[in-house]
Amino acid sequence: MARYTGPKLKLSRRVGTPVADIPKHTSKRALTTPGVHGFRGRRLRDYGLRLNEKQKVRYHYSVLEKQFRRYLAEAARRPGNSGMNLMSLLEQRLDNVVRRAGLARTIWAARQMVAHGHVLVNGRKTDRPSYSAQVGDVITLKPKAQKLAREAMESMAGHEVPGWIELNPAELTLKIVAVPTMDQIPYDVNPNLIIELYR
The pLDDT tens digits of the residues spanning 53-103 come to 999 999 999 999 999 999 999 999 999 999 999 999 999 999 999 999 999
Share of the chain above pLDDT 90, in %: 59
pLDDT for position 87 = 94
Q: Which of 88, 84, 83, 58 is nearest to 164 (CA)?
A: 88
The whole-angstrom separation of Cα 148 and Cα 28 is: 29
Residue 43 lies in a domain: yes
Rounded average pLDDT over 133-141: 94
Residue 66 lies in a domain: yes
pLDDT for position 43 = 77
The whole-angstrom separation of Cα 187 and Cα 161 is: 13
Do 165 and 192 fall into the same domain?
no
Rounded average pLDDT over 26-31: 75
Q: Which of 183, 174, 184 is nearest to 153 (CA)?
A: 174
Name which of 10-19, 102-111, 119-128, 169-178 the model is least confident about.
10-19
The whole-angstrom separation of Cα 63 and Cα 12 is: 15
Do 16 and 55 fall into the same domain?
yes
The whole-angstrom separation of Cα 86 and Cα 192 is: 10
Average pLDDT over all residues of the chain: 89
Do 101 and 86 fall into the same domain?
no
Residue 2 lies in a domain: no
Do 170 and 115 fall into the same domain?
yes
Residue 28 lies in a domain: yes
Do 86 and 15 fall into the same domain?
yes
Do 54 and 125 fall into the same domain?
no
Rounded average pLDDT over 192-198: 91
Burial class (CB in 10 A: 0-12, 13-18, 19+), 123: exposed
pLDDT for position 10 = 86
Residue 2 neighbours by CB under 8 Å, 6+ apart? 64, 66
Contact 87, 58 (CB under 8 A): no
Do 13 and 83 fall into the same domain?
yes
Do 83 and 56 fall into the same domain?
yes
In eight-state DSSP terms, residue 97 is H
Question: Pick the residue with more confidence: 23 or 121?
Answer: 121
Residue 3 lies in a domain: no
pLDDT for position 37 = 66
The CATH number of the domain holding residue 113 is 3.10.290.10
pLDDT for position 188 = 87
Do 130 and 156 fall into the same domain?
yes
Residue 167 lies in a domain: yes
Q: Give Cα 100 distance to the centre of its chain.
A: 8
Residue 41's pLDDT band, with cuts at 50, 70 and 90, is low
Segments forming the whole domain that contains residue 136: 97-178
Do 68 and 123 fall into the same domain?
no
Do 68 and 28 fall into the same domain?
yes
Do 102 and 147 fall into the same domain?
yes
Residue 129 lies in a domain: yes
Rounded average pLDDT over 145-151: 90
The CATH number of the domain holding residue 38 is 1.10.1050.10
pLDDT for position 92 = 94
pLDDT for position 65 = 93
Number of domains in the chain: 2
Rounded average pLDDT over 177-190: 89
pLDDT for position 186 = 86
Residue 1 lies in a domain: no
Residue 38's pLDDT band, with cuts at 50, 70 and 90, is low
